[in-house]
Amino acid sequence: MTVNALEAKSFDQPDEKRRPPKTQVDVVTLGDTTLGRFTFEPGWRWSETVKTVVHTDTCQVNHVGICAAGTLTVEMEDGSRATVSPGHAYTIPAGHDAWVEGDEAFVGYEVMSAATFAKPA
């Protein structure tokens, strides 16, 4: 990856917004890089929210990100689980469900999946 220009953009004024139920995906593009701020409300579960938009049985997107707030539990198709909390960096391969734990919104910043996550199929 090579950076060719000095740029700064705010997630509060994103290039693109996606709004499935209980989901806010704010996307900014800097050069050839697409970044996302993912906000999932309490009660959010991928299989009940984003699935209604993408129409796959599990999330088929790979994720690399950092959790800024809230708690997210991820369950892979094989039943393995991990919980992501503030300050955690994470990788999540395709083939999973996920849900928000507790009554605080999950906020994650992602560097890999923002171009495609929660985009209608």
- Cα→Cα distances 93→29, 41, 47, 86, 113, Å: 22, 22, 16, 20, 11
Instruction: Identify the pLDDT of residue 98.
Output: 98
90 pairs with which residues across the strands? 65
Q: Three-state DSSP class for 62? A: coil
67 pairs with which residues across the strands? 108
Instruction: Identify the pLDDT of residue 9.
Output: 97
Give pLDDT tens digits along the chain (121 positions).
788 999 999 999 999 999 999 999 999 999 989 999 999 999 999 999 999 999 999 999 999 999 999 999 999 999 999 999 999 999 999 999 999 999 999 999 999 899 999 998 7
Instruction: Identify the pLDDT of residue 110.
Output: 98
Angle at 72 between CA 54 and CA 91, to 5 degrees: 75
